[in-house]
């Protein structure tokens, strides 16, 4: 089979590799139909995250089930499914708590398409066939009427955005939301869309880039463009997607007493945070990887209901055979599609 392989920044190649097989009762194989890039993928492709190649690329995808093991009961060949990017067994103590990013059965950080970070054994979404080791635990049915291209990012970034605002809006309906963008581009924009879909009060988006700001405005945010301020006001919920120390500090200082700040920006060096201001306001600070599989049902229900439309964040739609050109030139959120897929 063909596998799109990251060789080095700016260089991708299709490589012939053996196709994975159903080798256990609870495993399945799937054929990717719609694949999109995570915010981290763009950084890898441009050399801003120095991961050594070669490794299979891609971890946000919708697929068609090809084959299943004898122990699989929830999916069958021909079903269309969303495949969470993290490997999780569904049975261990952490998985039962919804902590599917830290499954006790799988290796640490096990995930598709992230090479040395997630392990080389799992392959990548930009392949003809992908093996799913725990089909019943991992695969989530694609809702009727939802196009694969619309929710390819539900494997990771869309769920990541959902968890920054949805649980907190459930606790405080109508809360005002601040999203500090810049680094995790699609997560920040999805966070705006989710906040609007779930009835947030004001949704303010702050970024340094006018083009991203224009898209956030179309998604329903009040937009502020310029350097990150020391404080942007008072918000019950703030989201740091800046990957910038000043952006993080702004998000932390802008939380109302006992509100919540969630940071999805990845920081590769230590940063200073305004701990005294956080202490004085008693804020809740959340960071860490998303538990994607645990959030998939709620995210897909929100899309299927028509309340959330993720498609404006997509920057281009690329035919499968043009994946290399599309990934290198198709903007921060291209969707790669099989010829027979919408």
Pick the CATH number of 157-287 from 3.40.50.2300, 3.30.230.70, 3.40.50.300, 3.40.50.720: 3.40.50.720
Report the pLDDT averaged over residues 147-160. 98
Among the ranges given (110-114, 142-146, 326-330), the one the predictor scored with the smallest mean pLDDT? 326-330
The pLDDT assigned to 330 comes to 76
Spatial CB neighbours of 226, under 8 Å, sequence gap ≥ 6: 206, 208
C-beta separation of 242 from 228 below 8 A: yes
Burial 107-135 (b: 16+ CB within 10 A, else e): eebbbbbbbeebbeebbbbbbbbbbbbbb
Query: Cβ neighbours of residue 3 under 8 Å, at least 6 residues apart?
Result: 14, 15, 16, 17, 56, 123, 124, 126, 127, 128
Per-chain mean pLDDT for the chain? 96
Q: Is 80 helix (H, G, I), strand (E, B) or coil?
A: strand
State the average pLDDT over residues 102-128: 96
pLDDT of residue 342: 65
Residue 149: pLDDT over 70 = yes
Q: Indicate the pLDDT class of residue 329, thresholds 50, 70 and 90.
A: confident
Q: Would the pLDDT of 146 be above 90? A: yes
Summarize pLDDT for 184-242 with one digit per residue, the tens.
Answer: 999 999 999 999 999 999 999 999 999 999 999 999 999 999 999 999 999 999 999 99
Q: Would you state the pLDDT for residue 340?
A: 76
Alpha carbon 141 to its chain's center: 18
Look at strands 284-287 and 55-56 and give their pairing. Answer: unpaired
pLDDT at site 335: 97
Query: Is 222 in a helix, a strand, or coil?
Result: strand
| SS3 per residue for 228-295 | CCCCCCCEEEEEECCCCHHHHHHHHHCEEEEEEEEECCCCCCCCCCCHHHHHHHCCEEEECCCCHHHH
Regarding the domain with residue range 2-155+291-337, which homologous superfamily does it belong to in the CATH classification?
A: Medium-chain alcohol dehydrogenases, catalytic domain (3.90.180.10)
CA distance 174 to 12: 45
Query: Could you tell me the two tokens for 180?
Result: 């500090």
% of the chain surpassing 90 pLDDT: 96
Report the b/e string of 155-189 with b at 16+ CB within 10 A: bbbbbbbbbbbbebbeebeebbbbbbbbbbbbbbb
Strand runs (DSSP E) across the chain, as ranges?
A: 2-8, 11-16, 28-36, 55-56, 60-68, 80-83, 130-132, 140-141, 177-180, 203-207, 222-225, 235-240, 255-263, 284-287, 316-319, 334-337
In Å, what is the CA distance from 219 to each residue of 38, 189, 195, 337? 19, 8, 10, 24
Domain spans of the chain?
2-155+291-337, 157-287
- pLDDT for the residue 341: 75
pLDDT at 90 over 70: yes
Mean pLDDT score, 250-278: 96
């Amino acid at each position: 089979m063909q596998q799109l392989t990251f060789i080095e920044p700016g260089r991708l190649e299709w490589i012939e590799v053996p196709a994975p097989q159903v080798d256990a009762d609870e495993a399945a194989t799937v054929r990717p139909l719609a694949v999109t890039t995570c915010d981290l993928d763009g950084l890898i492709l441009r050399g801003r995250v120095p991961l050594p190649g070669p490794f299979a690329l891609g971890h946000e995808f919708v697929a068609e089930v090809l084959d299943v093991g004898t122990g699989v009961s929830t999916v069958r060949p021909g079903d269309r499914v969303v495949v969470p990017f993290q490997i999780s067994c569904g049975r261990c103590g952490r998985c039962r708590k919804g902590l599917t990013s830290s499954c006790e059965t799988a290796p640490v950080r096990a995930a598709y398409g992230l090479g040395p970070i997630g392990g080389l054994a799992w392959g990548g979404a930009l392949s003809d066939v992908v093996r799913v080791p725990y089909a019943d635990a991992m695969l989530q049915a694609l809702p009727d009427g939802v196009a694969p291209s619309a929710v390819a990012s539900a494997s990771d970034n869309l769920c990541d955005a959902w968890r920054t605002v949805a649980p907190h809006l459930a606790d405080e309906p109508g809360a005002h939301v601040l999203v500090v963008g810049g680094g995790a581009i699609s997560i920040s924009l999805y966070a705006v869309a989710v906040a609007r879909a779930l009835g947030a009060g004001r949704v303010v988006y702050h970024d340094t880039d006018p083009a991203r700001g224009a898209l956030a405005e179309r998604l329903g945010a009040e937009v502020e463009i310029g350097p990150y301020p020391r404080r942007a006001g008072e918000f019950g919920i703030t989201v740091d997607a800046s990957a910038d120390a000043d952006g993080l500090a702004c998000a932390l200082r802008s939380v109302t007493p006992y509100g919540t700040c969630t940071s999805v920006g990845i920081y590769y060096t230590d940063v200073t945070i305004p701990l005294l201001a956080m202490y004085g306001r008693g804020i809740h600070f959340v960071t860490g990887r998303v538990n994607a599989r645990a959030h998939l049902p709620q995210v897909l229900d929100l899309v299927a209901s028509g309340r959330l439309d993720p498609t404006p964040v997509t920057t281009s739609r690329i035919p499968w055979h043009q994946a290399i050109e599309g990934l290198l030139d198709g903007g921060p959120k291209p969707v790669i599609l099989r010829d027979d897929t919408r």
